Amino acid sequence: MKKIIFFILILLSTANAYAAPAVSSEELFKEAEKYDGETVIYKGEVIGDIMVREGFAWLNVRDKSDAIGVFCPKDMAGGIKYKGGYGFTGDTVSVWGVFHRSCPEHGGDTDIHAEKIIIIQEGQAIYHPLEAGKVKASIILPAIALGLAIIYLIVRRFR
């Protein structure tokens, strides 16, 4: 019976943590002392690259205002498919982990040591359409430049 109660309590506390609202990067920086060493939920887009180092990985997760480094076991980041860059919107993830205002393990970095990463929304390719105006200008302007270069050569020769 004790074991069942203990299991339910654990389950409830975990569920509570997952149910807790996500903290924004702005809040984390604003109330850094309050959140320092606490477990937080932080949501955002994975940007750049996942940098794997000796069984662990660094990823950078950006919300509306800023990006924060997330440190996690290598396997935890394995499910992330899209990383944000010019060609892609990165996966939107929910990171559940311990926030450090100045991480003693990582030279004072402000980071989150992830205990769980959930992919909320998969990223996608960003389509960069060719604007008609730009295409026209890309044809006309080089032609003008070429014409002017020829005129310059003539002017230089005859003056």
Partner 1 sequence: MILRPQVQDIKIVGQYSGRIILGLGLLMLIPLLVAVCFGETAAALDFVIGASFCLSAGYVLIILCFTRKELTWKHGMVVVSLSWLLAMFFGAIPLYLSRHWASFLDACFDAMSGFATTGLTLVQDLDHLSHAHNMWRHLTMYIGGQGIMIVALTFLIRGAGSALPIYIGEARDEKVLPNVVQTARFIWLVSLVYLLMGTLALSFTAFSCGMPGPKSFLHGLWVAMAAWDTGGFAPQSQNILYYHNFTFELITISLMLLGSLNFRLHYALWAGKRKEIFRNIETVSFFISAMLLFSLTAWGLTCGGVYPGALSLFRKGFYQVISAHTGTGYMTIHPQQFVRHWSSLSLMGVTLCMAIGAGACSTAGGIKILRIGIIFRTLLQDIKRTMLPRSAVVMDKIHHIKDVVLGEKVIRQVALITLAYIFLYLLGTLVGISLGYPLRLALFESVSAGANVGLSCGITQPSMPAVLKLTYIFQMWAGRLEFVSVFALLGTVIALVRGR
Distance of closest approach, residue 18 Cβ to partner 1, in angstroms: 26
Given 108, 120, 122, 124, the residue binding partner 1 (CB under 8 A): 108
Rounded Cα distance between 13 and 11, Å, is: 6
Distance of closest approach, residue 7 Cβ to partner 1, in angstroms: 36
- Count of residues interacting with partner 1 (CB under 8 A): 51
Rounded Cα distance between 125 and 69, Å, is: 23
Residues 6+ apart with CB under 8 A from 43: 22, 61, 63, 92, 93, 94, 95, 120
Given 22, 27, 29, 73, the residue binding partner 1 (CB under 8 A): 29
Please give the DSSP secondary-structure letter assigned to residue 84: B
Distance of closest approach, residue 114 Cβ to partner 1, in angstroms: 14
Q: Return the amino acid letter for 53.
A: R
State yes or no: residue 98 binds partner 1 (CB under 8 A). Answer: no
In the region spanning residues 44 to 83, those forming contacts with partner 1, defined by CB under 8 A, are 47-53, 57-58, 60, 62, 66-67, 69, 71
Among 10, 16, 17, residue whose Cα is nearest residue 38: 17
Applying CB under 8 A, the residues found at the interface with partner 1 are 29-30, 32, 47-53, 57-58, 60, 62, 66-67, 69, 71, 84-86, 89, 101-102, 104, 106-111, 126, 128-131, 134-135, 137-138, 141-142, 144-145, 148-149, 151-152, 155-156, 159
